[in-house]
Chain A
């Protein structure tokens, strides 16, 4: 009996220890994991902890607002600040799941420009402040010798005559349908107008029909570099940061085609009822300061959301020969034919198009 009691005491002691360990966190920061979270830890977390003397616990998640919703509605909010996509930020804000953020509290740029003017257009929202611009592009492997000219446009991605072989695409209507329309000759400025009509949707599916048998569908961001490295596909759509990471740190010879890229924002939001709201606001202001955004850009080629930080982009943290600016989605050479993801269109149509997309896949 005393053996059992001892065991129980030990368990109770251990659980007290565990709970006190988790209480030691002054701030829980949630982001997407991998190379992206690493860039944030280096550029935001470490300097903030040194400055404030508070501890950060970094958690990973896979996007979406399901967890935030569950936490806020159950009244047990354990996440203090979360990195989300724009459409999710707007939606969560509309549903009253987020704290509102006072933009005048954000730090000015080093030359004194107020934050509200320094942030790029469309990056500040009632409940969210953007930190980076990321992009969906398509990629090929330069190290494979093939007898075709290097692809240049989105139309080439869909051209199976000139470029025979399998292609990787994300198993989601978002971005995929826009790519199809761009390849079909719709100007980027017109894509969402066309996609808002029944004929436009049919046109996108008709274009996708032409490559359907040649597509390998991926779901996780780590898959496309792997598919390409294995020679499983000749082209694949991907997130530009992941591809850069494979090139810079794994020595792959991948080349991105920026024509028709679709860019989107990642933003900080604070779930309503966060227990460390003050610390979260302080971290948010700190991490979106010019210096921190510019520092992050030396770890991953996602474009900073502030003009003053864009001007300070340097070289890759471990290799001085890699100029990060030329790898950014917003670099002038890459940005010529770019489309911003329309969060309102997708908020309206995501469910419907997802059903149609899956029905099309199953046909």
Chain B
């Protein structure tokens, strides 16, 4: 008994004499280092290839230094100009000085492109004036306006003042069908150029309908996969997976052959006399075509998570419900369906997020009302090279998805999701 009172005074030591507490901390530290060093490569990979590029691109949506980088003199003058009074000689002199350098360094195209994004139709104004800039003489205000009278327009100078600010909300304004101006702040875009908000809505609506259809069609298939005997269900599984492994383009093109007005479905309908030859259905090159093709392509992403959840539901639950007096329908709705919610959530979220980013299928079968927001993002990335606007559009899309994710977490709970 006395020993047990003495023990705390003398620290317990390990075999080599170091206190046990210290030894334990050392051992724990070593295993922590080992664990971290195992994770580090993956973490670094995710950072470098995923997180950093996303943030770098998002940053482009609000930060663009194309103009100020190549026009140091002009930017300095524009910063002190209020944007309301007539531009003075100092501004014109700075313009000429920068144009001369830009022409020599072949950066004039970058400056012109940037201003043209804010004020369409000014690209050639810059390139043509730059060609003559070297020969211009003071007073520059007069000689520049003589080269092209557009330079007298205050709107051109306001556009330049706007583009000289590196940190700008202008791209987000454009992405939401607005315009950011020096003199009036945010204003509505001209009605005939409003397109992005419509496309965002359409993208969300189409994605939601595709998700709904996938659930409607995929649920019974997943149920059969999970409940049929192994031989039959294996065959069924192959039929689900085979198209899943086929190229997206091949499947889309196959739908064109099936749905077009001279295609399989219309031909059959005409043969059986259901429709007349000259009133064939338009099943493709419109919203219908987009929804049909996308639903088919995304169906496996709904079926597989549903199947993996249904597979784990013991059949005894249903039998128990039946033995307690529930009808088959009631037992299915009250007992079976609630247990499949994690699969429904996972499949739904997966299909929705994939659908939101689709652009090859809508481009091929969508016709005039099948264009989605990703088609515009691709256009600005590849054709107009307005990466800042593409980043702003992408940023809005990303926040939309995150918002939905948050809402989903609130309503269903993200822990209830099961991907397989």
Contacts and interface: CB of A to CB of B under 8 A. Distances in A.
B167 interface: no
Interface stretch (B11-19, B45-53, B102-110, B210-218): B102-110
Tell me if A's interface is mostly helix, strand, loop or mixed: helix
A217 B109 CA distance: 32
A93 B199 CA distance: 34
Contacts of A91: 109, 113
A356 interface: yes
Interface string A34-68: 00000000000000000000000000001011100
Interface in B339-368: 363-364, 367-368
Contacts of A66: 381-383, 385
B133 interface: no
A21 interface: no
A209 interface: no
Q: How large is the interface on B (under 10, 10 to 19, 20 to 34, 35 or more residues)?
A: 35 or more
A215 B286 CA distance: 11
Given A95-B113, A232-B262, A216 B367 contact: yes
B121 A348 contact: yes
Interface string B253-294: 000000011110000000000000000000001000000000
A362 interface: yes
A93 B120 contact: no
B168 interface: no
Contact of B195 (A92, A348, A359): A359
Interface residues of A, number: 37
A95 B110 contact: yes
A96 B367 contact: no
B114 to A, nearest CB: 11
B165 interface: no
Given A64-B383, A96-B109, A359 B123 contact: no
A186 B367 CA distance: 28
A352 B389 CA distance: 13
A292 B178 CA distance: 52
B371 A362 contact: yes
Contact of A69 (B369, B379, B385): B385
B278 to A, nearest CB: 10
Interface string B90-114: 0000000000000001111110110
Given A66-B381, A232-B261, A347-B124, A356 B109 contact: no
Contact of B105 (A62, A96, A347): A96
B391 to A, nearest CB: 14
Given A348-B116, A352-B120, A359-B194, A93 B106 contact: yes
Given A348-B121, A348-B123, A354-B379, A65 B385 contact: yes
A359 B364 CA distance: 19
Contacts of B261: 166, 232
A62 B192 CA distance: 29
A4 interface: no
Pairs of residues from A and B, 5 with the lowest C-beta to C-beta distance, nearest first:
A94-B109, A96-B106, A352-B120, A95-B109, A359-B195
Given A91-B113, A351-B384, 18 more contacts: A65-B385, A95-B106, A95-B110, A96-B106, A96-B107, A96-B109, A171-B368, A230-B263, A232-B262, A347-B116, A347-B123, A348-B124, A349-B120, A351-B120, A352-B120, A354-B379, A360-B192, A361-B371
